């Protein structure tokens, strides 16, 4: 049930192998001039030193495409233009419509995939970078799971280190209730700043904070308990954000920096034993080959500071160690902002030198750009502080509620609120996912909430509109699945081919960890649906029964594909809005 391009590639593979005397790629691609084109004759002709049109002719003469193409034509220097047979497309699509997986096969080899994402810092506001990591990571998790991989979600929160001395002392000063109250409201930065101010101004406090760090690092039970409460308060807040965002993360996925403390001495000892550690400016470092600064001097990865403390890099080395050895990862994704690119490249390089990262394991930093405000600078709140995520998400829902009330005043209150939530949160997520992740993008309420353009509301609306056809017809969608199809118009053919391309788009999206590719596909799909909707009546009286039945299948599989793909992005598609 592969998409037509792969069907053609499979049929042509033996023909090309025969001509080449060895396997040769027929290079089947979508085309502007026909439905598809075969481009493989040109490179093969070069290799064999023959005229490419001769090879193209052999492709035509082979007759292997008779069942799938109504036209096979040589063009230009040796391309072969293909027009798919309508009945073939209809058969393929009918099979997809009856398939729960919409034609998407599970990956040939199931991997153990570790996804490191979200990773906010305790007692600090989650910033919009954490939003991006959370949303992109969540989409990648869902896609990998759907393809049959075992996914291990790792939320590497920043929950350890020197600042916890002052944070715990501040917690003791203001009392737990006050602290919890502030953090529930998302004022994590307020807590942090107050602690920091005292640390700078008050020597006695500074001394207490220092003692407290020592106690924390020696796992003094009372200190650990205080630390745990502080972490829990932060996590309560993070969980509220995750709940609003509708992502898969739970407390079971927490794997903060603190969890790697006991492993760091081992990691360090092994580096020393492997003779990789050298001294540099009083610190203990590893120099991975190939990394240099602007003056072309080798760049060190610091594993132990001059004060004898393990570093962020050391905890990431421990992470690699743990994920490979204990979790048995085949693939590790780190969904972290672009500024940490060099950090990860160096960590991976050192892990390879130490033998923890072998050729069988793939470690990939999945970087992303920044979210900008209207002024094209990093997004800030009006007061100039970091934007509070909870407030941002609530505003999205409020704005969506206003739009829904205007668009569909008949929807009852509860339904309206639910739809507003789905649209508002969907809009924020989709705005993030639909731009190439490596680029910065401007946060723009009006654009992301618009009901036209490449937005979540536009796609959700396309889905709801298809669902409404079934409501009006009084037809159960399950009943139409498996029915025969006929593709009579250009719009139906176009839509059918788009739907059949879903598996290969998903493959490409996952292979490049680029959710925006799936978004672009969804936007194209929604436009094809609109074209179909405008030209191909379904329920009108003058439509004959067979045509109506076929078009209902097309509506059903279109709606299912929209809903499914949005689902992989972590976005819901209401059936009414």
Give the nearest residue (CB) to ligand ARG.
119
Please state the closest distance from residue 415 (CB atom) to ligand ARG, in A.
38
For residues 559 and 133, is the Cβ–Cβ distance under 8 A?
no
Strands annotated E in 27-179 = 28-30, 36-38, 69-75, 79-84, 112-116, 150-154
∠ at Cα 38 (36, 43), nearest 5°?
150
Tokens encoding 136:
């992109």
Binding positions for ligand ARG, 26-55, rule CB under 6 A: none
Which range binds ligand ARG by CB under 6 A, 11-19, 113-121, 205-213, 444-452? 113-121
Question: Rounded to the nearest whole angstrom, what is the least distance from the CB of residue 118 to ligand ARG in the complex?
Answer: 9
Q: How many residues bind ligand ARG (CB under 6 A)?
A: 9
Q: Which CB sits closer to ligand ARG, 336 or 425?
A: 336
Residue 324 binds to ligand ARG (criterion: CB under 6 A): no
**Quick one: 146 or 237, whose CB is closer to ligand ARG?**
237
| Smallest separation, CB 336 to ligand ARG (Å) | 4
Q: Tell me if 332 contacts ligand ARG by CB under 6 A.
A: no
267/572 with CB nearer ligand ARG: 267
Torsion of the alpha carbons at 504, 366, 455 and 126, rounded to the nearest 10 = 150
Closer CB to ligand ARG, 316 or 556, in the complex: 316
Is 551 one of the binding residues for ligand ARG (CB under 6 A)? Answer: no
Q: Which is nearer to ligand ARG, 205 or 242 (CB)?
A: 242
**Residue 513, token pair as written in the block:** 């960890």
**Choice between 313 and 501, CB closer to ligand ARG:** 313
**Nearest approach, Cβ of 107 to ligand ARG (angstroms)?**
25
Task: Kindly state whether residue 231 participates in binding ligand ARG, applying the rule CB under 6 A.
Answer: no
Cβ pair 423, 403 in contact under 8 A: yes
DSSP 196-219: HHHHHH-HHHHHHHHHHHHHHHTT
Which member of 336, 506, 518, 571 binds ligand ARG (CB under 6 A)? 336
535: buried, middle or exposed (CB in 10 Å: 19+, 13-18, 0-12)? Answer: exposed
CA atoms 174, 176, 179, 182: torsion sign: negative
Q: In 3-state terms, the chain is what percent helix, strand and coil (to 5)? A: 55, 10, 35
- Which one of residues 65, 104, 319, 366 is an interface residue with ligand ARG (CB under 6 A)? 319
Quick count: other Cβ atoms within 10 Å of Cβ 566? 23
Tell me the C-alpha distance between 186 and 188, whole Å.
Answer: 6
Judged by CB under 6 A, does residue 316 bind ligand ARG? Answer: yes
Using CA atoms, how far residue 391 sits from 103, 127, 241, 244, in Å, is 40, 12, 10, 11
Query: Of 347 and 469, which has the nearer Cβ to ligand ARG?
Result: 347
Interface pick for ligand ARG out of 4, 40, 52, 158 (rule CB under 6 A): 158
Q: Which of residues 119-148 bind ligand ARG (CB under 6 A)?
A: 119, 121
Residue 156 binding ligand ARG, by CB under 6 A:
yes
Q: How far is CA 116 from CA 256, 313, 319, 333, 517, in A?
A: 11, 15, 10, 6, 21
Q: In the complex, which residues of this chain contact ligand ARG (CB under 6 A)? A: 116, 119, 121, 156, 158, 316, 319, 334, 336
């Amino acid at each position: 049930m592969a998409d037509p391009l792969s069907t053609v590639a499979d049929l042509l593979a033996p023909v090309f192998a025969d001509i080449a005397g060895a396997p040769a790629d027929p290079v089947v691609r979508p085309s502007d001039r026909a439905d598809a084109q075969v481009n493989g004759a040109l490179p093969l002709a070069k290799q064999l030193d023959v005229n490419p049109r001769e090879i193209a002719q052999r492709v035509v003469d082979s007759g292997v495409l008779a069942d799938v193409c109504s036209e096979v034509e040589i063009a230009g220097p040796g391309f072969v233009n293909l027009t798919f047979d309508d009945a073939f497309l209809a058969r393929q699509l009918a099979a997809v419509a009856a398939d729960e997986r919409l034609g998407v096969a599970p990956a040939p080899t199931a991997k153990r995939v570790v996804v490191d994402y979200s990773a906010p810092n305790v007692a600090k506001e989650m910033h919009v970078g954490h939003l991006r990591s959370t949303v992109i990571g969540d989409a990648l998790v869902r896609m990998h799971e759907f393809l049959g991989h075992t996914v291990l979600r790792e939320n590497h929160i920043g929950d350890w280190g020197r600042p916890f001395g002052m944070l715990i002392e501040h917690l003791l000063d203001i009392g737990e209730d006050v602290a919890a109250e502030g953090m529930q409201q998302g004022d994590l930065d307020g807590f942090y700043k107050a602690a920091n101010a005292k640390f700078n101004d008050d020597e006695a406090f500074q001394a207490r904070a220092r003692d407290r760090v020592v106690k924390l690092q020696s796992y003094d039970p009372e200190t650990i308990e205080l630390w745990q409460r502080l972490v829990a308060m932060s996590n309560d807040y993070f969980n509220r954000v995750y709940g609003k965002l509708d992502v898969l993360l739970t407390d079971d996925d927490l794997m903060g920096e603190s969890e790697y403390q006991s492993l760091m001495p081992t990691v360090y000892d092994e580096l020393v034993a492997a003779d990789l550690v050298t001294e540099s400016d009083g610190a203990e470092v590893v120099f991975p080959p190939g990394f240099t600064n602007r003056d072309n001097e080798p760049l060190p990865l610091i594993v132990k500071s001059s004060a004898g403390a393990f570093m962020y890099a050391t905890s990431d080395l421990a992470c690699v160690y743990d994920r490979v050895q204990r979790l048995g990862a085949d693939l590790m994704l780190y969904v972290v902002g672009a500024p940490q690119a060099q950090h990860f490249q160096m960590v991976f390089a050192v892990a390879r030198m130490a033998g923890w990262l072998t050729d069988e394991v793939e470690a990939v930093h999945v970087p992303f750009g920044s979210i900008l405000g209207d002024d094209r600078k990093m997004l800030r709140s009006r007061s100039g502080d970091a934007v509070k995520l909870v407030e941002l998400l609530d505003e999205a829902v409020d704005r969506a509620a206003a739009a829904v009330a205007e668009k569909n005043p008949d929807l009852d209150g509860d339904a309206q609120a639910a739809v507003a939530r789905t649209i508002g949160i969907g809009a924020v997520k989709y705005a993030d996912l639909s731009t190439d992740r490596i680029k910065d993008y401007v946060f723009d309420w009006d654009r992301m909430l618009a009901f036209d353009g490449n937005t979540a509301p536009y796609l959700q609306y396309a889905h709801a509109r298809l669902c409404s056809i079934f409501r009006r017809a009084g037809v159960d969608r399950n009943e139409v699945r498996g029915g025969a199809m006929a593709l009579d118009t250009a719009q139906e053919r176009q839509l059918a081919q788009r739907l059949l391309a879903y598996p290969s788009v998903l493959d490409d999206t996952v292979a490049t960890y680029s959710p925006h590719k799936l978004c672009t596909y969804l936007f194209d799909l929604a436009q094809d649906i609109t074209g179909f909707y405008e030209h191909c009546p379904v329920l009108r009286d003058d439509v004959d029964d067979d045509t109506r039945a076929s078009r209902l299948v097309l509506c059903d599989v279109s709606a299912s594909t929209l809903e499914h793909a949005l689902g992989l992005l972590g976005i819901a598609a209401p059936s009414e809005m």
